[in-house]
Amino acid sequence: MSTPADAQRMEKIVSLCKRRGFIFQSSEIYGGLNGLWDYGPLGVELKRNLKNYWWRVTVHERDDVVGMDGAILTHREVLKASGHVEGFSDPMIDCRTCKAHFRFDQLIEKKGVKQCPNCGGKDLTDARQFNLMFETHVGAAADESSIAYLRPETAQSIFVQFKNSLEVSRKKLPFGIAQIGKAFRNEINPRNFTFRSREFEQMELEYFCRAEEGMKLLEYWKEERLKFYESIGIPREKLHVKTVSDEERAFYSKGTYDIEYDFPFGRQELEGVAYRTDYDLSQHQKASGKSLEYFDEVTKQRFIPHVVEPSAGVDRTVLALICEAYSEDQAPDEKGKMETRVVLHFHPRMAPIKCGIFPLLKNNEGLVAKAKEVVDHLRPHMFVFYDESGAIGRRYRRQDEIGTPFCVTVDFETLGEKDEKLRDTVTLRERDSMKQERIAISDLLAALSVRIA
């Protein structure tokens, strides 16, 4: 259950996201478009770091996974075969009093009577199915024949391209195809900031295997995915594995786990890990009339592979990273007086900016030139930020608030003015401990690289 303190924490997070340029409401100057968000200068960096790291561990660091990048606009027949045209819907209820629409499971119940969560009204319509897909037309003729959809998940293009990917990669089972990309769902009630959006990104892996390996690989991928979240700074105790019950599970799935995170607004799904059997490939083979079989050269058998799918949300994970990182502590100001410090404790590999670089004074040519040299030295290897304005303490605070794990200060010692031995050394300050160490500029790149890898 979330408490008023959690709600207040969430409010602060949303406000910080806007103030510091992580996430803005989409089309804000026109009043906003509900359920759509734009990522600002820092949000885009955080999101890229997450996607790049997922790609690295899922594709580059494995021999058994290849990548792809499919089109967003999807042929109607693809989504008919997958079951989305017929069944990708939520039960929707309207409140006749305030005219709001809700998903059936969002109604509140008092003394056994369902009520509108908006106005408390009890005059509600019956539930009817509302398809979540966005429909559009491809080409000049806007008729039945030109209907296409914005994909509601990235997975289907992976299935449809299974044969091509298999042939070009010459992989043997088990092997996977990974994709990161946009997905669209016309959610009845977008809510909880970016958690439930109408346009979002997914990181999906379809891991193809033999039928007898399915259940074991489901366990394997659940564990791999938990390790992934820990490796980006989400602690194991805040993650929960929910076994999706027989009633809730898709009829073709033999086992599904939801990996959930304790958001300030409650425990909610970050990712689904599902054993989808051979359902998708079988459906597409049937509907397209094209073989999607795998030929086993050893046993000479032909069969449709089964698949285990870890499907994660980029935006939900970004939100979890921000919620997990947000904290307030006490730290001394310039004069040694304690003040509240807002810090985002991002794991260094996720942090948007890796290192802040400051000359002690902005009106000293030697200091400024040296600091800019350090910027040029580090820039090809990591995203750094140069800041010369304000007292050093304030510059540290600004970086703490956006989660920059390291700051480097160029001072008079760097110029060799106090002690020749300290020439070309800088102070390296660490965000969480606020500890400072003296380090040679020539050692800086190596020292930072291992910490942000």
φ/ψ bin of 58: left (φ > 0), alpha (ψ from -120 to 50), beta (otherwise): alpha
Cβ-Cβ contacts under 8 Å for 14 (sequence gap 6 or more): 193
SS3 state of residue 191: strand
The tokens describing 175, both together, are 């092997």
Question: Are 226 and 241 spatial neighbours (Cβ–Cβ below 8 Å)?
Answer: yes
Nearest residue to the partner ligand ATP, using Cβ: 313
Minimum distance from residue 190 beta carbon to ligand ATP (Å): 7
Q: Which is nearer to ligand ATP, 124 or 312 (CB)?
A: 312
Minimum distance from residue 341 beta carbon to ligand ATP (Å): 31
Minimum distance from residue 266 beta carbon to ligand ATP (Å): 12
Minimum distance from residue 202 beta carbon to ligand ATP (Å): 5
Minimum distance from residue 216 beta carbon to ligand ATP (Å): 21
Minimum distance from residue 325 beta carbon to ligand ATP (Å): 18
Closest residue by Cα to residue 304 from 215, 214, 218:
214
Q: Which is nearer to ligand ATP, 265 or 303 (CB)?
A: 265
Q: How many residues does the chain have?
A: 453
The tokens describing 88, both together, are 């990708």
Question: Are 415 and 423 spatial neighbours (Cβ–Cβ below 8 Å)?
Answer: yes
Question: Are 26 and 200 spatial neighbours (Cβ–Cβ below 8 Å)?
Answer: no
Minimum distance from residue 132 beta carbon to ligand ATP (Å): 8
Q: Which is nearer to ligand ATP, 185 or 354 (CB)?
A: 185
Residue 101 burial (10 A CB sphere; 0-12, 13-18, 19+):
middle
* Measured distance between the N- and C-terminal CA atoms of the chain, rounded to whole angstroms: 36
Residue 251 burial (10 A CB sphere; 0-12, 13-18, 19+):
exposed
List contacts with ligand ATP (CB under 6 A). Answer: 153, 185, 187, 196-197, 200, 202, 269-272, 311-313, 315-316
Torsion of CA 41, 44, 48, 49, to 10 degrees: 60
Minimum distance from residue 108 beta carbon to ligand ATP (Å): 19
Q: Which is nearer to ligand ATP, 28 or 248 (CB)?
A: 248
Q: List, in sequence order, every residue forming a beta bridge with 358; answer none if it has no partner.
A: 409
Q: Can you tell me the distance from the alpha carbon of 342 to that of 408, in angstroms, rounded to the nearest whole number? A: 20
